[in-house]
Amino acid sequence: MALFFLLAAPAAAIGAALRGLDPPARVLTALAGAVALDMLVAQGMLATHHWSWRGGIVAVAAISVLLVLLRPVERILKRMSRRTGKIRSS
């Protein structure tokens, strides 16, 4: 179950961020990104001598949540910049 989560959570988050790609490319890129993210988390935890399987799952989950939240935050920032741009030009 944990291994499925370690691939599915980051892959879903990365796939949600890559809406411009066609579906097969998005799936392949999301899976490759998930594997890379898992390896980076594991390498970082091993390098800092803080390795634990629970900590790895928490770290991957936190990064995945941040990746999912990037899209709405980006939309909000674009709306705010458009509003301030309209105020300054008038």
Q: pLDDT digit string (tens) for 15-74?
A: 998 888 999 999 999 999 999 999 999 999 999 999 999 999 999 999 999 999 988 888
- pLDDT at position 88 over 70: no
**Under 8 Å between Cβ of 18 and 30:** yes
Please give the tally of structural domains in the chain. Answer: 1
Please give the residue range of the domain that contains residue 69.
Answer: 2-89
pTM of the model as a whole = 0.79
Task: Report the distance separating Cα 9 and Cα 24, nearest Å.
Answer: 18
Percentages (nearest 5) of helix, strand, coil residues in the chain? 85, 0, 15
What pLDDT, on a 0 to 100 scale, did the predictor assign at position 89?
47
